[in-house]
Amino acid sequence: MTPSSFIRMAGAAALTLALGACMDIDMEVDILSETEAEATMVTSTAADMYEMMQAQAVEGDEEFCAEGEIVANGDMIDCTMIQSGPFAELDFNTAEEGGPSIEAIGDGQVRVTFPTGELADAMAEDTGATDDPQMQAMITAMFEDRAITMTVTGGPIVDTNMEMAADGMSATYEIPFTTLFEGDTGLPPELYAVVQK
pTM of the model: 0.80
Q: Number of folded domains in the chain?
A: 1
- The answer to whether residue 113 sits within a structural domain is yes
In 47-169, the DSSP E strands lie at 69-73, 76-86, 101-106, 109-115, 147-153, 157-160, 163-164
- Is residue 40 situated within a structural domain? yes
Contacts of 128 (CB under 8 A, 6+ apart): 135
| pLDDT for residue 16 | 42
The pLDDT of residue 154 is 98
| Residues of the chain where predicted confidence (pLDDT) is lower than 50 | 1-21, 93-97
CA 171 vs. chain centroid, Å, equals 15
pLDDT in the model for residue 14: 43
Distance, in Å, from the CA atom of 68 to the CA atom of 41, rounded to the nearest integer, reads 9
Q: Note whether residue 1 is domain-resident.
A: no
HSE (side-chain half, CA atoms, 13 Å) at 85: 9
Looking at the DSSP bridge assignments, the partners of residue 124 are none
3-state secondary structure of 118: coil
**Within a domain: 177:** yes
Write down the pLDDT at residue 122. Answer: 60
Q: What is the DSSP string of 36-50?
A: EEEEEEEEEEEHHHH
Sheet holding 190-196, edge to edge: 101-106, 109-115, 190-196, 157-160
Q: 191 lies in a domain?
A: yes
Q: The domain containing residue 17 runs over which residues?
A: 6-196
DSSP 3-state assignment of 31?
A: strand
In a domain, 26, yes or no: yes
135 in a domain, yes or no?
Answer: yes
> 18, 28 in Cβ contact below 8 A?
no
pLDDT at position 73, please? 86
Q: What is the pLDDT of residue 68?
A: 86
Residue 192: inside a domain, yes or no? yes
Angle 81-180-60 from CA coordinates, rounded to 5°: 45
**pLDDT of res. 145:** 80
